[in-house]
Amino acid sequence: MVTVYSIVNGQMMDLEVSLDDVVASGKLGLGCIFESDDGHIYSPVDGKVIMLFDQLHAIGIEDIDGNQYFIHIGYDLAKNHGEGLVAFVKLHDLVRTHQRLISLDKSILLKKTSSLHVLFLIAKTERRISFLHKSKTTSVSSTTEIIRLIE
């Protein structure tokens, strides 16, 4: 079993709240939407950074069992050139659960995007996915267990 933790201190919501219809439909995969209260994004698992966009708005992590996770910050931030985002990791870094990955400056980013929702998807797994919180919106911290991947 793999335990997956929240990537923020803040709120966790169903995918259906996404402003992107494709994300909201679940066609991109299973996951959830987060809003960060403190402006930090944390690692959900022990693993390795397998993707980090130059604009710092998206990051991929693979855990030791080969499960992959995708994190995407905001909407239309690809053209932002990383302004308002600071990465604390780089491609191929090993990361620990709860380790800070990226910080975001809300005052800068909210001038450039309509939402700072953070998309979290299970990008690849052979395991059964069990969500631990069933309500539409849940308060979470980076130490909150949110998903279990079960063999």
Tell me the DSSP string of 53-79.
-TTSSEEEEEETTS-EEEEEESSS-GG
Task: Report pLDDT digits (tens) over 84-100.
Answer: 999 999 999 999 999 99
Give CA separation, 19 vs 25, 26, 50, 75, 76, in Å. Answer: 11, 12, 26, 8, 11
**Predicted TM-score (pTM) of this structure:** 0.94
The token duo for 114 is 């309509």
Mean pLDDT score of the chain? 92
Around Cβ 97, how many Cβ atoms within 10 Å?
16
Model pLDDT, residue 27:
87
The token duo for 19 is 């402003």
Look at 111 and 42; give whichever has higher pLDDT: 42
Classified as helix, coil or strand, 107 is: helix
Task: Report pLDDT digits (tens) over 41-56.
Answer: 999 999 999 999 988 9
Q: CA-CA distance, 70 to 57, in Å (whole number)?
A: 11
Domains and CATH numbers, the chain: 2-150 (2.70.70.10)
The separation between CA 65 and the C-alpha centre of its own chain, rounded to angstroms, equals 19
